[in-house]
């Protein structure tokens, strides 16, 4: 029976893979089509039906020739010949004139060409929208998605009219204006060159000036020349509206690396919370670092930390909290330093590790030291990371762009929809955290790192050398935000399908009773993942740790969150914003609150629906998070790094990064200009006055 079910399911999965999808395409002419065609052919291979809306003037396509696509030809009052002439004119300009002309002449010419192309697009668009029969037919076909090239507008307009989602494929727009202003792609002019400016990511002061100039001129051009005429058009037409937990995660990754035939050596402090280095069945080799502090000291420090955040934090002032945070940081930093010392001051161990010729080092920047060891051994390193307080490490050391207007600083429990006061709070928190950590690192670590490496450096600079940052969240959980090519979001890599559970579970840490029933299983630790994956699980009461939340997302279980410290407030805020959780305040919690919250997430189906939606997003990824994480680690091993993904932002000073030097220069120029103008006017006025006076006399 079970075998049959599996076979049927499998068949469904195979058939269900591609059947039934209907894709509408609004193509761009010429080479743009060639690229799109590859995507469309693959979609057809996977069993989707592809319909191309084809203006009769397009050159590249002939609808009467055999093709795997269906065509809806739109007759337009433009001939293929007129289209060819226009494109030829454009090519002639790019091939022969563009580099010979001055900047202004070139821009003027581009504007002319863009204007002509827009005119043609508008004519084509008119024809489609006038054609009610065609629109009715398209609407009746219930397409699932529209694919368009934003080189020329209108694809998105049809998608809106038909009430279907749309996907863009684009190479670039002039000055990246479309990507930046419409797609919100952050493009700091200090190191992201404007398209067509012929600049690279390493720019001198003059080149950065030129780059800002290109961006500005092209933005203005788009706004006035192109969009100005379309805005009205669009508004008119759219009428049919339509160590601890960190180790658990890293361990899964390391086990996968071992499965793929790599040798994994773990540098483990002799006192730690979760890593059992005496376990002979472990697939890893352990190199034990004999630290001077005991297991008891570590547990006491941890207990003190947890006790404050769980029981005391609600009764003390914000100042006390900040003070306590600093104290805790100092305690853990002191321990980290002692761990580092055991390695740094042990030349035999360093020699032994060097001899082993490791390909890559994997570290979590939450506790410093990993990057230092990688530098000493001269090998590339990869980070596995959840977050730092206020995202300082990711932002300041990794260069991750985080506009405070919509990227909430971690640990404040904010979402991406912030009121003015919240944005103020967010901005100030970023600022405060920057100052706090830059000072803390300078006092505690920068000297240490410089000493060990024998050259002046900082902790942050060393951390910035990470080849890849494997962030332990994903877009099911995270709010959309800008990121860099060397950041991979691999949240949930530890989740697995649930194993079946026995009828009775018992958490019990002792000798197994002899009279134990066969349907009862005893666990040191209840297998949370299997429990959440059980078909009768209705809700998950959680403190909001990332690992647990991901297991709930994986299995689509709504949550009641009782966050306590670290990222837990954030995690629950994310789940609440996405409609999959109810949040409770631990300090004021009453029994009835918990009962009510549980009833809410169980009785009100929206929570379950949202949790299932997140689950579907999580499962529908081109490559599974664990495979992506392993791929990037292996990539770094094969290529001895991933320097091609490293943004040039790391080479800029803060004022260059924000273009403050360029702005200061422009401001000075303007000020001098205004000053000279004012002087001239004054001079003229005086002269005129004098002449007039003389005439009177």
Ligand X SMILES: *[C@@H]1O[C@H](CO)[C@@H](O)[C@H](O)[C@H]1NC(C)=O
Structure tokens belonging to residue 72: 């809806």
Shortest CB 537 distance to ligand X, Å: 14
Q: Single out the residue of 295, 311, 496, 606 in contact with ligand X (rule: CB under 6 A).
A: 606
Shortest CB 122 distance to ligand X, Å: 7
Q: By CB under 6 A, tell whether 587 contacts ligand X.
A: no
Nearer to ligand X by Cβ, of 216 and 604: the residue is: 604
Distance CA 371, CA 448 (A): 13
Identify whether the C-beta of residue 486 lies closer than 8 Å to the C-beta of residue 632: no
Report how far apart, in Å, the C-alpha atoms of 668 and of each of 137, 560, 663 are.
60, 57, 8
Nearer to ligand X by Cβ, of 453 and 602: the residue is: 602
Q: By CB under 6 A, tell whether 334 contacts ligand X.
A: yes
Q: Single out the residue of 337, 481, 576, 658 in contact with ligand X (rule: CB under 6 A).
A: 337
Report how far apart, in Å, the C-alpha atoms of 440 and of each of 309, 445, 464, 469, 569 are.
21, 8, 17, 23, 24
Beta bridge partners of 267: 287
Q: By CB under 6 A, tell whether 451 contacts ligand X.
A: no
Nearer to ligand X by Cβ, of 152 and 257: the residue is: 152
Shortest CB 528 distance to ligand X, Å: 22
Shortest CB 557 distance to ligand X, Å: 15
Q: By CB under 6 A, tell whether 338 contacts ligand X.
A: yes
- Region 453-492 residues binding ligand X, contact defined as CB under 6 A: none
Distance CA 263, CA 287 (A): 13
Q: Which stretch binds ligand X (CB under 6 A): 36-44, 60-68, 396-404, 420-428?
A: 60-68
Nearer to ligand X by Cβ, of 520 and 606: the residue is: 606
Nearer to ligand X by Cβ, of 121 and 402: the residue is: 121
DSSP designation for 384: E
Q: By CB under 6 A, tell whether 32 contacts ligand X.
A: no
Q: Which stretch binds ligand X (CB under 6 A): 19-27, 42-50, 602-610, 643-651?
A: 602-610
Beta bridge partners of 49: 22
- Region 114-153 residues binding ligand X, contact defined as CB under 6 A: 115-116, 119, 123
Q: Single out the residue of 314, 603, 653, 668 in contact with ligand X (rule: CB under 6 A).
A: 603
Nearer to ligand X by Cβ, of 65 and 592: the residue is: 65
Q: By CB under 6 A, tell whether 65 contacts ligand X.
A: yes
Q: By CB under 6 A, tell whether 266 contacts ligand X.
A: no
Q: Which stretch binds ligand X (CB under 6 A): 57-65, 205-213, 414-422, 451-459?
A: 57-65
Residues contacting residue 268 through CB under 8 Å, at least 6 positions apart: 275, 277, 286, 287, 288, 289
Q: Which stretch binds ligand X (CB under 6 A): 333-341, 468-476, 623-631, 650-658?
A: 333-341
Q: Which of 145, 131, 137, 125 is nearest to 50 (CA)?
A: 145
Shortest CB 279 distance to ligand X, Å: 29
Structure tokens belonging to residue 393: 């490490």
Read off φ and ψ for residue 261, nearest 5 degrees: 90, 15
Chain mean position to CA 201:
21
Nearer to ligand X by Cβ, of 216 and 603: the residue is: 603
Shortest CB 54 distance to ligand X, Å: 11
Q: Which of 473, 448, 474, 475 is nearest to 459 (CA)?
A: 448
Distance CA 351, CA 300 (A): 34
Identify whether the C-beta of residue 611 lies closer than 8 Å to the C-beta of residue 619: no
Q: By CB under 6 A, tell whether 599 contacts ligand X.
A: yes
Shortest CB 445 distance to ligand X, Å: 11
Long-range contacts formed by 644-647: CB under 8 A, 24+ apart: 645/467, 645/468, 645/484, 645/485, 645/486, 646/467, 646/486, 647/191, 647/201, 647/399, 647/484, 647/485, 647/486
Q: By CB under 6 A, tell whether 294 contacts ligand X.
A: no
Nearer to ligand X by Cβ, of 223 and 538: the residue is: 538
Q: By CB under 6 A, tell whether 602 contacts ligand X.
A: yes
Nearer to ligand X by Cβ, of 195 and 271: the residue is: 271
Q: Which stretch binds ligand X (CB under 6 A): 4-12, 113-121, 499-507, 614-622?
A: 113-121
The contact mask relative to ligand X for 547-586 (x = CB under 6 A, - = no) is ----------------------------------------
Distance CA 406, CA 417 (A): 7
Distance CA 519, CA 597 (A): 32
For ligand X (CB under 6 A), the number of binding residues is: 15
Q: By CB under 6 A, tell whether 17 contacts ligand X.
A: no
CA–CA–CA angle 497, 503, 507 (5° rounding): 85
Q: Which stretch binds ligand X (CB under 6 A): 491-499, 504-512, 596-604, 628-636?
A: 596-604
Report how far apart, in Å, the C-alpha atoms of 141 and of each of 23, 65, 144, 168, 605 are.
10, 23, 9, 21, 32
Contact residues: ligand X, CB under 6 A? 62, 64-65, 115-116, 119, 123, 334, 337-338, 599, 602-604, 606
């Amino acid at each position: 029976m079970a075998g049959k079910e599996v076979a049927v399911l499998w068949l469904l999965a195979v058939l269900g893979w591609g059947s039934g999808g209907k894709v509408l395409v609004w193509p761009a002419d010429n080479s743009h089509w060639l690229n799109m065609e590859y995507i469309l052919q693959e979609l057809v291979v996977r069993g989707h039906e592809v319909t191309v809306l084809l203006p009769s003037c397009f050159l590249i396509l002939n609808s009467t020739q055999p093709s795997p696509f269906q065509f809806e030809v739109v007759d337009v009052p433009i001939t293929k010949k007129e289209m060819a002439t226009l494109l030829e004119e454009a090519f002639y300009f790019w091939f022969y004139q563009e580099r010979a002309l001055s900047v202004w002449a070139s821009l003027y010419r581009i504007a002319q060409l863009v204007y002509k192309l827009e005119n043609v697009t508008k004519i084509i668009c008119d024809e489609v929208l006038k054609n009610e029969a065609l629109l009715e037919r398209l609407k009746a076909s219930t397409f699932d998605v529209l694919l368009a090239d934003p080189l020329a507008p209108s694809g998105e307009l049809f998608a809106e009219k038909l009430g279907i989602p749309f996907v863009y494929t684009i190479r670039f727009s002039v000055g990246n204006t479309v990507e930046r202003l419409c797609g919100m792609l952050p493009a700091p002019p200090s190191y992201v060159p404007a398209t067509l400016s012929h600049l690279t990511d390493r720019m001198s002061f003059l080149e950065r000036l030129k780059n800002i100039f290109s961006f500005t001129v092209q933005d203005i051009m788009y706004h006035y020349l192109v969009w100005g005429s379309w805005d009205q058009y669009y508004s008119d037409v759219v009428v049919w509206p339509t160590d601890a937990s960190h180790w658990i995660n890293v361990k899964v990754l390391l086990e996968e690396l071992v499965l793929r035939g790599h040798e994994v050596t773990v540098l483990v402090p002799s006192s730690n919370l979760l890593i059992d280095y005496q376990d002979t069945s472990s697939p890893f080799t352990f190199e034990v670092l004999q630290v001077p502090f005991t297991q008891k000291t570590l547990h006491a420090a941890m207990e003190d930390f947890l006790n404050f955040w769980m029981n005391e934090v609600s009764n003390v002032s914000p100042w006390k909290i900040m003070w306590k945070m600093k104290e805790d940081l100092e305690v853990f930093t002191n321990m980290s330093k002692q761990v580092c010392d055991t390695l740094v001051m042990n030349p035999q161990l360093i020699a032994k590790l060097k001899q082993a010729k490791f390909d890559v080092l994997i570290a979590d920047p939450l506790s410093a030291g990993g990057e230092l060891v990688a530098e000493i051994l001269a090998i590339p390193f990869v980070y596995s990371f959840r977050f730092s307080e206020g995202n300082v490490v990711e932002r300041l050391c990794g260069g991750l762009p985080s506009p405070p207007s919509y990227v909430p600083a971690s640990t404040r429990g904010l979402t991406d929809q912030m009121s003015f006061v919240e944005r103020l709070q967010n901005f100030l928190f970023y600022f405060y955290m920057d100052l706090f950590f830059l000072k803390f690192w300078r006092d505690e670590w920068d000297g240490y790192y410089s000493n060990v490496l024998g050259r002046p450096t900082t902790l942050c600079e060393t951390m910035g050398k990470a080849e890849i940052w494997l962030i332990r969240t994903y877009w099911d959980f995270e709010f959309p935000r800008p990121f860099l090519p060397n950041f991979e979001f691999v949240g949930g890599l530890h989740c697995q399908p649930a194993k079946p559970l026995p009828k009775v579970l018992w958490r019990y840490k002792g000798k197994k009773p002899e009279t134990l029933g066969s349907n009862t299983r005893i666990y040191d630790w209840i297998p949370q993942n299997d429990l959440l994956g059980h078909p009768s699980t209705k809700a998950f009461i959680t403190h909001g740790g990332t690992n647990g939340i991901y297991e709930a997302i994986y299995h689509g279980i709504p949550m009641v969150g009782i966050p306590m410290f670290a990222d837990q407030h954030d995690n629950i805020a994310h789940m609440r914003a996405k409609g999959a959780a109810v949040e409770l305040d631990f300090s004021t919690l009453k029994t009835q609150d918990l009962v009510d919250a549980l009833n809410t997430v169980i009785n009100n189906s929206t929570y379950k629906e949202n949790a299932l939606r997140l689950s579907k997003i999580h499962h529908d990824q081109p490559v599974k998070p664990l495979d992506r994480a392993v791929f990037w680690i292996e990539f770094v091993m094969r290529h001895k790094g991933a320097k091609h993904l490293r943004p040039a932002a790391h080479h800029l000073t803060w004022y260059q990064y924000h273009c403050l030097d360029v702005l200061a220069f422009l401001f000075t120029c303007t000020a001098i200009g205004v000053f000279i103008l004012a002087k001239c006017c004054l001079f003229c006025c005086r002269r005129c006055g004098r002449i007039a006076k003389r005439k009177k006399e």
